[in-house]
Chain A
Amino acid sequence: MKEIEHLRNIKPDEAYMLRSKRSILREEPLPHFTLRDIIGSHMVGIASTAFVVLGMIVVGGWVFQAKAPITAGADPALLTAEANEVDIQIKLLALTYKSDSFSPLVIKKVLENASSSPLLDRATSSAATEPETTPPASPSEGSSATSTAASSTILSADEILDNLSK
């Protein structure tokens, strides 16, 4: 360890020491900001930002409420009753098909299905007094006959679509 103790004789140059010291002390120590300092120095900014954000939340909530649907305060039972009272009737006065869209076989089947539906029964019973229509002589005539039969029958749109899909 004696050898190591020789290292204690290492010393810096005095002039350098003085120069370095002066140079260092000419500098200003850097400011040290703690969280408390940052919050303290920006208190006004933080408070005003918080106030603005709070205001935006309040105004936004108010606008949202103002734009609420008109049925928000209505009685659902009353609305249902009103809706049920509305009389909606759909009457098909004319229904035509393109002659080449359906084969006579399909048209015949549609008519058979239609004749078995209660609505058609009702309609046909009312038209029972009318003279019988002559059966179609040819496929091309069938289409016109179909349109004639359909036009004299009151069917709901759903029923017609059902029949067509069958």
Chain B
Amino acid sequence: MIENEQKLIEEAVEGGREAFGALYDFYHTRIYRYVFVKVSRKEEAEDLTHQVFLSAWQSIRRYKHQGYPFSGWLYEIARNKVIDFYRSHKTELSIDLVGEHLTDEGSAVTALAGMMERDAVIAAVRNLKPLYQDVILLRFVDDLSLKETAKIVGKSEGAIKVIQHRAIQDLKNTLRTEEA
């Protein structure tokens, strides 16, 4: 969580652009990552992430702190945007271009190896059910708690534990199959 987040949120709710800008800077990458794994194309991920923050800014005055971090609200918006995206497009997107949008450091060979590994992981994650994808991303990529994840996906904490366990099993099976 960002420092002075509550104060920034209060200022943003009052229409403070700088405060919302700070929140944008802090959360943008996470939301982009979540969306990117879901849609696998840079342009669409950028467009959807932009829409997420635009919606958040436009409806910031309606935001009410309910004991969950601000990111939970953003993830909820992002999740709905992705669902709307797939409803309107209904196309299977390729992940061919995934590698070129991943940042890495080190030599080109290491970067390429890393990209290929990430491509495989993204492909494996995208093979999961949408709910499993959400839980994996929120819990292990964005480090959200069980409670926060449960709030975002609209399930109980117990259900999240079960889903998480099954999602990991499915992911392992997929990765093993790909390696073989």
Listed in ascending order, the chain A residues whose CB lies under 8 Å from chain B are 1, 3-13, 16-17, 20-21, 23-25, 27-32
Count contacts on B: residues with CB < 8 A to the other chain.
44
Establish whether residues B60 and A7, one from each chain, have CB atoms under 8 Å apart when the complex forms. no
CB distance from B54 to the nearest CB of A (A): 5
4 smallest A-B Cβ distances: which pairs?
A32-B61, A12-B32, A20-B50, A10-B33
Interface majority SS on B: helix, strand, loop or mixed?
A: helix
- CB-CB under 8 A from A21, the residues of chain B are 21, 24-25, 28, 53
Establish whether residues A3 and B117, one from each chain, have CB atoms under 8 Å apart when the complex forms. yes
CB distance from A97 to the nearest CB of B (A): 90
Whether B37 is near chain A, meaning CB under 8 Å from some CB there, is yes
CB distance from B84 to the nearest CB of A (A): 18
Establish whether residues B121 and A4, one from each chain, have CB atoms under 8 Å apart when the complex forms. yes
Establish whether residues A9 and B29, one from each chain, have CB atoms under 8 Å apart when the complex forms. no
Establish whether residues B33 and A8, one from each chain, have CB atoms under 8 Å apart when the complex forms. yes
Listed in ascending order, the chain B residues whose CB lies under 8 Å from chain A are 15, 17, 20-21, 24-25, 28-29, 32-33, 36-37, 42, 45-46, 49-50, 53-54, 57-62, 101-104, 114, 117-118, 120-122, 124-125, 136-137, 140-141, 168, 171, 175
- CB-CB under 8 A from A5, the residues of chain B are 140-141
